[in-house]
């Protein structure tokens, strides 16, 4: 089983991040300048998952606004998909939210991205609306997904179960 650790994204991370970004999103991906702006943005937090060779295999971006967090992007290198990387990145985002007293998380996801939707649903996110023609490259709709209050007893149980599930993925 592969193991991974989570680190802060830095400017030095961007070559590897841009490779994953292009593989994940094709020609309609974020620019390097967009990532530089996000790394320097006071309300954002960008994390990378690295493997034992210290190679970046995935990343997640988060905006923190008062008691809400917005997941801006989540991508995993195709060679490392279905190995728990996205789950670990999302779990780390939740841990950040707990530390900073952020109650809710939200995101948009392509209606066709069943793998991502299933991941978010496993974390208790629910679709609460649709943004019509949200994605500019093909006018695909986006589901708007929200978590419940992560400080609720119900959600804390889910969080603790996920924590048990990912324990074997963490590189120490």
Whether the Cβ atoms of residue 49 and residue 89 lie closer than 8 Å to each other: yes
Q: Are the C-beta atoms of residues 85 and 118 closer than 8 Å to each other?
A: no
Residues in the chain: 172
- Rounded CA-CA distance 39/61 in Å is 9
pLDDT, position 155: 96
* Tens of pLDDT, residue by residue, the chain (172 residues): 789 999 999 999 999 999 999 998 877 788 999 999 999 999 999 999 999 999 999 999 999 999 999 999 999 999 999 999 999 999 999 999 999 999 999 999 988 889 899 999 999 999 988 878 766 677 778 889 999 999 999 999 999 999 999 988 888 7
Tokens read off for 105: 């998380």
Which pTM does this prediction carry?
Answer: 0.92
Find the catalytic residue in 59, 108, 140, 153: 108
Q: What is the pLDDT of residue 52?
A: 94
What is the pLDDT at residue 142? 86
Q: Which residues of 81-107 are buried (b: 16+ CB within 10 A; e: fewer)?
A: eebbbbbbbbbbbbebbeeeebbbbbb
Report the distance separating Cα 156 and Cα 162, nearest Å.
10
Active-site choice (120, 121, 134, 167): 120
Tell me, yes or no, if 21 is annotated catalytic.
Answer: no
Q: What is the pLDDT of residue 1?
A: 75
* Structure confidence at residue 141 (pLDDT): 80
CB-based contact 104:146 (threshold 8 Å): yes
Residue 136: the pLDDT is: 67
Query: Which stretches within the chain are classed as H helix?
Result: 14-25, 32-39, 85-99, 114-122, 153-166
Q: List the structure tokens of 108.
A: 């948009």
Record the tokens describing residue 48, joined without a space: 């990378």
In the annotation, is 140 catalytic? no
């Amino acid at each position: 089983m592969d193991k991974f650790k989570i680190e802060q994204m830095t400017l030095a991370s961007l070559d590897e991040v841009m490779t994953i970004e292009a593989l994940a999103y094709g020609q309609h991906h974020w620019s390097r300048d967009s990532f530089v702006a996000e790394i320097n943005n006071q309300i954002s937090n960008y994390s990378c998952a690295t493997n034992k060779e210290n190679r970046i295999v995935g990343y997640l971006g988060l905006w923190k606004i008062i008691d809400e967090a917005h997941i801006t992007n989540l991508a995993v290198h195709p060679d490392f998909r279905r190995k728990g990387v996205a789950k670990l990145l999302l779990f780390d985002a939740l841990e950040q939210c707990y530390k900073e007293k952020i109650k809710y998380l939200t995101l948009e996801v392509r209606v066709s991205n069943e793998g991502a939707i299933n991941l978010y649903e496993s974390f208790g996110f629910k679709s609460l609306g649709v943004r019509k023609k949200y994605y500019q490259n093909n006018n695909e709709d986006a589901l708007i997904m929200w978590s419940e209050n992560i400080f609720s007893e119900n959600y804390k149980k889910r969080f603790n179960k996920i924590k048990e599930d990912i324990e074997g993925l963490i590189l120490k």
